[in-house]
Amino acid sequence: MKIKQIVIAGALLVSVTSFAQKDELKALKKIYNKEVIKGDDLAEFKSLADKVQPLAVEEADKVYANFYKCMIPVLEYNAIDKTMAPSQIQMALLKFVNPKSISDLASGLNATLDYEKKTGKKIQTDDINETITSFKPELINFAIKLGDNKNFKESADVLYSIYQLDKKDQQTLYYAANYATNGNDYAKALQYYQELKTLNYTGEGTLYYAKNKASGIEENYPSKNVRDNFVKLGTHISPRDEIIPSRKGEIVRNIALILIDQGKIEEAKVALQEARKENPEDAGLIVSEANIYLKLNDTANYKRLISEALVKSPNDEVLFFNLGVTSANSNQFQDAEKYYRKAIELKPDFIDAYLNLADIVLKPDAKLVEDMNKIKGTSDSELKRYNVLKAERQKLFTKAMPLYEKAHELNPKDDLVKSNLKSVYNYLELTDKVKALKAEN
């Protein structure tokens, strides 16, 4: 009898819990179906969602308990006073929207859609699709804001979650891969790029622009017809189209570069060969493949590929600049100087080329300083040696000076350039130039 009583009591407890859970789900649904959910309603909804989720036992109850829970950030957003300034709305959004809540939202909504597709009962399907359409722009703005603040990894997570919400929007996956790369999260970047490759994403298309007469700002439109209608109305002028080229080559190249970074050389070679098939005229891909052989100390193949790249892009200043970087990294300083000078010849305002070239010019300086510091005595031979080394340093600084001056001319606000130029002037005892440089502050 005692055992039976315990079993009956246990069954009653489960039954009571189940009824309580059902009541709470009904209460959640009642609040959710209200036109406006704010204040006490929102607080009660959040409390009920927290309570009911861990109690759900049946599949349907689990799905909808999770649905209500994951929708809380959307309800909180809808409760924001939209008459506030956009910056204030963004600040309010940050209180409850974060990479995890967006990931949970994507997971919860997709689980609900899958369940309703399986059961054939579209209870929340239309509402979910409407939610995705209306809330997605705010999520994208949130991701952009994270990126602007250099929170690249978090931005990538948010963008990937948005893609999970709307898998037709493959462009969002592309940007998630880019942000993950910028955040040095190469594992996720590789995952996203490989997914894009599997999807055969190209990113090709056309952007339609026209200038708003009232604001003077050029605006982008979703289609040519929409843009042309505004132009016909007379509110917009100067229509133009911008062709977006295929990104397939770029995607496969980035896959290869990440594989190189991970030390997966053979996989990288295969990826680069695929990339070159997609874009045979891309000299950057050839340079990337050449860099693999450079890492393997295969000089013959490295030079062969570099020669091939130069034939394809004889006037590409970026290619010559990248060759300069590659050569400098492999201690081939004469080649590096040659490539940087060619980049400057092709693009006279290429500030990074000037700075890198100045760095190459001054490479011997560290050794000269070391040799000068070794001279401790004051004999004639030692003083003569010291003066020879000093003269060599002066030659280096004299050679580097016009490069820093040009860089400073191109970007007078760059403090590092200004500091380097000041050091050059000081060593060469050009006091008037030092004073003029200080007077710019």
Angle made by CA atoms 381, 382, 384, in degrees to the nearest 5: 65
- Average pLDDT for 371-400: 89
CA-CA-CA-CA torsion for 419, 420, 424, 429, nearest 10 degrees? Answer: 10
| Average pLDDT along the chain | 85
> What pLDDT, on a 0 to 100 scale, did the predictor assign at position 234?
92
- Percent of the chain at pLDDT > 70 equals 95
pLDDT digits (tens, 9 = 90+) for 187-232: 999 999 999 999 989 888 888 999 989 888 888 887 899 899 999 9
pLDDT digits (tens, 9 = 90+) for 18-60: 444 567 888 888 888 888 788 888 888 888 888 887 777 788 8
Please say whether the beta carbons of 356 and 322 come within 8 A.
no
Flag the least confident range among 208-217, 240-249, 286-295, 378-387. 286-295
- Average pLDDT for 166-188: 93
> What pLDDT, on a 0 to 100 scale, did the predictor assign at position 21?
55
> What pLDDT, on a 0 to 100 scale, did the predictor assign at position 412?
87
Q: Residue type at 317?
A: E
Per-residue HEC secondary structure of the chain comes to CHHHHHHHHHHHHHHHHHHHHHHHHHHHHHHHCCCCCCHHHHHHHHHHHHHHHHHCCCHHHHHHHHHHHHCHHHHHHHCCCCCCCHHHHHHHHHCCCCHHHHHHHHHHHHHHHHHHHHHCCCCCHHHHHHHHHHHHHHHHHHHHHHHHCCCHHHHHHHHHHHHHHCCCCHHHHHHHHHHHHHCCCHHHHHHHHHHHHHCCCCCCEEEEEEEECCCCCEEEECCHHHHHHHHHHCCEEEEEEEEECCCHHHHHHHHHHHHHHCCCHHHHHHHHHHHHHHCCCCHHHHHHHHHHHHHCCCHHHHHHHHHHHHHHCCCCHHHHHHHHHHHHHCCCHHHHHHHHHHHHHHCCCCHHHHHHHHHHHCCCHHHHHHHHHHCCCCCHHHHHHHHHHHHHHHHHHHHHHHHHHHHHHHCCCCHHHHHHHHHHHHHCCCHHHHHHHHHCC
Residue 51: beta bridge partners?
A: none
> What pLDDT, on a 0 to 100 scale, did the predictor assign at position 76?
85
For residue 280, what pLDDT band results from cuts at 50, 70 and 90?
confident
As a whole number of angstroms, the distance between CA 405 and CA 354 comes to 9
Query: Is 152's pLDDT higher than 90?
Result: yes
Pick from 390, 399, 297: which is nearest to 358 by CA?
A: 399
> What pLDDT, on a 0 to 100 scale, did the predictor assign at position 80?
83
Query: Is 183's pLDDT higher than 90?
Result: yes
Query: Is 9's pLDDT higher than 70?
Result: no
Query: Is 12's pLDDT higher than 60?
Result: no
Query: Is 278's pLDDT higher than 80?
Result: no
Please say whether the beta carbons of 294 and 330 come within 8 A.
yes
- Average pLDDT for 305-311: 85
